[in-house]
């Protein structure tokens, strides 16, 4: 099995951390560089990373890769509460990636424009919900949703996209898990 992705993507990193104990080759793709982009276009029509190739099977999207690996290795699937939490994490992560790409494309994402206001509201709303889940103990164990939350917070910190001062439980969750070997080994910095 080969996992394709970049070393900075939070979506790729969650799968790399999740698969610590699974034999998997990691192939780095710089999706904005000409040659690697040709490979991306040939292998994944969504033009996003991560994706997984397992012999004849190609699996797109981190969420589906996680489900594929759970089925293949008979691991415990997510329960419905965890699926909902993953939707929260994915929604803010997707929004932050879009905002990041927009600012890289010279848009002022702090502008008083409807689209940006909706995204900022979503980010604040979801982070408040995750802060509450965190306070209630949903991320006390190091399971897949915790890995995804860690990768989201760490990437947002790395790219300086979010001020986390309103979310003390998320900050202490982030700090409390930062010394894990697999976390250190996949640090994008």
Ligand X SMILES: N[C@@H](CCC(=O)N[C@@H](CS)C(=O)NCC(=O)O)C(=O)O
Question: What gap in Å lies between CA 126 and CA 135, rounded to an integer?
Answer: 14
Q: Between 11 and 139, whose beta carbon lies closer to ligand X?
A: 11
Tokens for 129, please give them. 């919900």
Least distance to ligand X, CB of residue 112, Å:
25
Angle value at C-alpha 50, between 48 and 56, nearest 5 degrees:
100
Question: What gap in Å lies between CA 176 and CA 106, rounded to an integer?
Answer: 35
Torsion of CA 78, 43, 34, 61, to 10 degrees: -10
Q: Between 61 and 133, whose beta carbon lies closer to ligand X?
A: 61
Q: Between 91 and 124, whose beta carbon lies closer to ligand X?
A: 91
Least distance to ligand X, CB of residue 101, Å:
6
Question: What gap in Å lies between CA 2 and CA 134, rounded to an integer?
Answer: 33
Q: Between 73 and 158, whose beta carbon lies closer to ligand X?
A: 158
Least distance to ligand X, CB of residue 41, Å:
11
Least distance to ligand X, CB of residue 94, Å:
6
Question: What gap in Å lies between CA 151 and CA 164, rounded to an integer?
Answer: 14
Q: Count of alpha carbons within 13 Å of 134, Cβ hemisphere only? A: 23
Q: Between 97 and 171, whose beta carbon lies closer to ligand X?
A: 97
Return residues touching ligand X (CB under 6 A): 9-11, 31, 47-50, 61-63, 97
Least distance to ligand X, CB of residue 173, Å:
21
């Amino acid at each position: 099995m080969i996992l394709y992705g970049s070393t900075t993507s939070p979506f790729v990193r969650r799968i790399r951390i999740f698969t610590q104990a699974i034999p998997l080759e990691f192939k780095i793709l710089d999706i904005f560089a000409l040659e690697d982009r040709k490979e991306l276009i040939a292998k994944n029509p969504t033009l996003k990373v991560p994706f997984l190739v397992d012999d004849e099977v190609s699996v797109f999207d981190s969420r589906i890769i996680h489900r594929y690996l759970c089925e293949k290795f008979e691991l415990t699937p997510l329960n419905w509460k965890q699926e909902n939490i993953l939707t929260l994490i994915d929604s803010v992560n997707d929004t932050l990636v879009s905002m990041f790409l927009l600012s890289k494309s010279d848009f002022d994402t702090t502008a008083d424009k409807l689209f940006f206001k909706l995204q900022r509201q979503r980010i604040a709303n979801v982070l408040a919900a995750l802060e509450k889940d965190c306070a209630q103990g949903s991320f006390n164990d190091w399971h897949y949703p915790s890995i995804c939350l860690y990768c989201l917070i760490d990437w947002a910190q790395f790219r300086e996209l979010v001020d986390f001062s309103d979310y003390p439980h998320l900050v202490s969750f982030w700090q409390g898990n930062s010394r894990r070997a697999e976390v250190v080994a996949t640090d994008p910095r």
